[in-house]
Amino acid sequence: MAWIDSPEHHRHLADEAERLFTFGARAALPTGGFGYLDESGEVDPQRPVELWITCRMTHVFALAALQGRPGAAELVDHGIAALTGPFADREHGGWFPALDPATGSPVSTVKDAYPHAFVVLAASSATAAGRTGASELLAKALETSTTHFWDETAGMVVESWDREFATLEAYRGINANMHTVEAYLTAWGVTRERMWLDRALRIVERTVHGYARENGWRLPEHFDPQWRPLPDYNKDAPAHPFRPFGATIGHWFEWARLTLHARAELLALGEQAPSWLLDDAAGLFDAGVREGWAVDGAPGFVYTVDWDGQPVVRERMHWVLCEALGAAAALYAATKDERFDAPYREWWAYAERYYIDADGGSWWHELSPANEVSRTVWEGKADVYHAVQATFVPRLPLAPAFAPALAAGLLVG
């Protein structure tokens, strides 16, 4: 039996998920929403209450609630209250990206696709968990996504609007599209409206089978309004947390996993899945290992590489490792090829040694090239989304998505 499939490992994953849920619960704010956690697990009072964190934590606690964790359902309701309350722009639609923690008023009014994708994800998972108001929130989130972000001609989502949805930023990004795929697959799992699966597949095909394959798997991240790559974008700010220069290793793994989820949805319907879905997922995974893992002589995945595959930002982000674990587990589930088991086991041992903070809780968000705690890109322990999901991939089928799979009782271990 592969280690990925072992009951002992699954018990460990369940314990780790519970530890992360306990840490993450401290992010709930009495004034609404979820805050950004510091290294000790306290909300950082210097930061606003951010939409993407509130959505991701709402999603996480929907997963916990679907397992029957005490108190988790109330935390989902807490998130829904924030999303239907102070985050919602009742005048122009959509959701504000950040709120003042003292007053609850918006500190920014930009409408970005990235956090709006997480509104769909949170609402979908909360709907799967049967929480009051979640289905209405989901309907509104999907309507907003269709009306303002989905570009039918491109088969992708646009990036960022002003508050009134009148002026669109002259930039297109892969990151927002990646999380839109995640959100649409979860919405499909909850609503069974085929449009969301079809849109997810369109994004995956253009991104993975197009841009990634055509560029030797070094996926461009930044584009102009005509979807032409901008290879020098943010060359002077290479460590940007959301729009870094070059190719982002962790996204190769994340796209590989999402591609396999989309493939599994087709197979679950009894439909033929194009062969490139599996082939390209494996191609992205192998490239990520080849160009990302221990390329500078120390274990760990570098953050970004340039267009020749050379490391640019060598800090090791915890989310990159989480997505590598998820991609390895997904590829094993899709193929039963034990070549994915050995790196998966190696990476969990690496996580245990360097990332998992057994004393303070959660995972260190960033390590230096020497695998010491670093804070150049990410300070604190913002949320537990990536780490929690890494504990679920090996214990759930690839389809449906996490929350509807848990609702269907498909969890192993």
CA quadruple 64, 67, 69, 71: dihedral positive or negative? positive
Round to whole Å and give the CA distance between 256 and 250: 10
If you write DSSP's letter for every residue of 24-88 in order, what string do you get? HGGGB-TTSSB--B-TTS-B-TTS-EEHHHHHHHHHHHHHHHHTT-TTHHHHHHHHHHHHHTTTB
10 is catalytic: no
Round to whole Å and give the CA distance between 328 and 340: 5
Task: Map out the domains of the chain with their CATH numbers.
Answer: 3-407 (1.50.10.10)
251 is catalytic: yes
Q: What pLDDT, on the 0 to 100 scale, is given for residue 1?
A: 84
How many degrees, rounded to 5, is the angle at CA 356 between CA 399 and CA 18? 55
- In 3D space, the residue among 315, 318, 303 whose CA is nearest the CA of residue 376 turns out to be 315
Round to whole Å and give the CA distance between 381 and 398: 28
- In 3D space, the residue among 296, 299, 374, 293 whose CA is nearest the CA of residue 327 turns out to be 293
Round to whole Å and give the CA distance between 363 and 387: 8
Residue of 59, 116, 318, 386 marked catalytic: 386
> Across the strands, what pairs with 367?
316, 373
Segments of the chain with pLDDT less than 50: none
266: tokens are 């087709």
Residue of 222, 251, 261, 318 marked catalytic: 251
Q: What pLDDT, on the 0 to 100 scale, is given for residue 191?
A: 98
Q: What pLDDT, on the 0 to 100 scale, is given for residue 242?
A: 87
Q: What pLDDT, on the 0 to 100 scale, is given for residue 241?
A: 85
Q: What pLDDT, on the 0 to 100 scale, is given for residue 141?
A: 99
> Where is 111: in which H helix or E strand?
strand 111-112
Q: What pLDDT, on the 0 to 100 scale, is given for residue 408?
A: 98
> Exposed (0-12), middle (13-18) or buried (19+): which is 145, by Cβ within 10 Å?
buried
- In 3D space, the residue among 153, 152, 151 whose CA is nearest the CA of residue 161 turns out to be 151
